[in-house]
Structure 1
Amino acid sequence: MHTFEIGSPIVHPIHGAGILRQIEKRQVRGRLLRYYVIDFPYSDLGQVMVPVDMADKVGLRVINARTNIDTIFDTLGGNFSEAEEEESKSFHQRYREYLEKIQSGDLNQVAQVYRLLYRRSMIKPLGTKDKALFETARQLLVSEIVYARAVGDDEARTLLDEAMEDLVF
């Protein structure tokens, strides 16, 4: 079981990167449980509490700074050979796969979804569900860039946008 330090940036696989503010004890069904209290300043979410003993199962992890972020920029700049394969799938198949990748907690899979939906948005406007997935993937990437590169929200968005500018379809 991994323990996290108060004040350190950590990543929740669904909510993105945040700051561990405190470890709180709460009485639940007669048991005293400890919870990580995580603030998400770059999200509308605000705060999430995760039981300490469930942190590994939930997928909480530390931010892998440079290495992880460099890898996602490589993924974003990758080729679109898989894009043709995606076109042959039904919307529902694609949506399920994209949602699973986003919820996996694997930043490279999130970057793949972002890149594919970005490409799709350059060809035609995204539908409501695709647009929501695109925005979710974008927010997850931006929140991790903020902490890994120690930059502000706007600069993280700019870095992400610049990574997408040179794509060849």
Structure 2
Amino acid sequence: MATTVKKAAQRQGFKTGEYIVYPAHGVGQITAIEEQNVAGYALELLVINFEQDKMTLRVPVAKIASVGMRKLSEPASVKKALETIRGRPRVKRTMWSRRAQEYEAKINSGDLIAIAEVVRDLYRSESQPEQSYSERQLYEAALDRMAREIAAVNKSSETEAIRQIEQNLTKGVGRKAAEAPVAELEEDGDEQEEAA
């Protein structure tokens, strides 16, 4: 399998050295654009390094759109995400397994606002009861994804981004008022479906 590194530094608006968001893995950096011959076909690949995960991914240029890869969010989107986590938690009255699947889908969507919703909904302050192991895992995964993108957008450290997120979480509307073990319950059509 022959690999040649292309001299061209840009494909479909993505360029070498740029940070991007790959929905299933979070923030990565494009380190090269390569051409590989696979089964007699020449494939152009973006080489993406996910430093924290110690992983390198090669994405065919033709698949960029279908995998949902995108540029980093604009500062306005980061501001909106931070406003989202200050909002009141919305927890549906559905089984945990179903909610966990929804949270996982939001985290893997690559959408910063959806990830912020997961962080908001699963956040627990010191005065609230502890989370289950699976809740904690999902919360930490969402917090990590959100912090990595905010750090990349603001050109700051992840530690600084996490501090910024946590400050916004503690400012949250309704968090200081009687924090119940269960956040606000949101009525939706799922209950009627389950009851039927």
TM bucket normalised to smaller: 0.7 to 0.9
Cα distance in 2, alignment partners of residues 27 and 47 from structure 1: 19
Aligned letter for 1:106? D
Identity %: 29
- 2:27 is the alignment partner of 1:22: no
Aligned letter for 1:166? K
* Aligned counterpart, 1:5: 15
* Aligned counterpart, 1:53: 62
* Aligned counterpart, 1:125: 130
- Choose 1 or 2 for highest CA Rg: 2
Deviates more, 1:44-53 or 1:93-102: 44-53
SS at match of 2:107: helix
Contact persistence 1:65–1:149 (CA under 8 A): no
Q: Which runs of 5+ in 2 are unaligned?
A: 1-10, 180-196
- 2:71 is the alignment partner of 1:66: no
Judging changes above 3 Å, is the alpha-carbon distance between structure 1 residues 16 and 6 closer, same or farther for their aligned structure 2 residues? same
Cα distance in 2, alignment partners of residues 152 and 132 from structure 1: 22
Contact persistence 2:124–2:130 (CA under 8 A): no
Tell me which protein shows more helix as a share of its residues: 1
Alignment of 1:3-152 (within 5 A): 3-41=13-51, 43-80=52-89, 82-83=90-91, 86=92, 88-119=93-124, 123-152=128-157
Contact persistence 1:18–1:143 (CA under 8 A): no
Q: TM-score, normalised by structure 2?
A: 0.76
Instruction: From 151, 158, 163, give the equivalent of 1:153.
Output: 158
Cα distance in 1, alignment partners of residues 125 and 60 from structure 2: 38
SS at match of 2:119: helix
SS at match of 1:123: coil
* Aligned counterpart, 1:165: 170
- RMSD value over aligned CA atoms? 1.9
Cα distance in 1, alignment partners of residues 171 and 76 from structure 2: 21
Shift of 1:64: 2.5
Q: Which runs of 5+ in 1 are unaligned?
A: none
Cα distance in 2, alignment partners of residues 77 and 68 from structure 1: 14
SS at match of 1:79: coil
Q: Relative contact order (C-alpha < 8 Å, sep 6+): which is higher?
A: 1
Shift of 1:14: 1.8
Aligned letter for 1:28? V
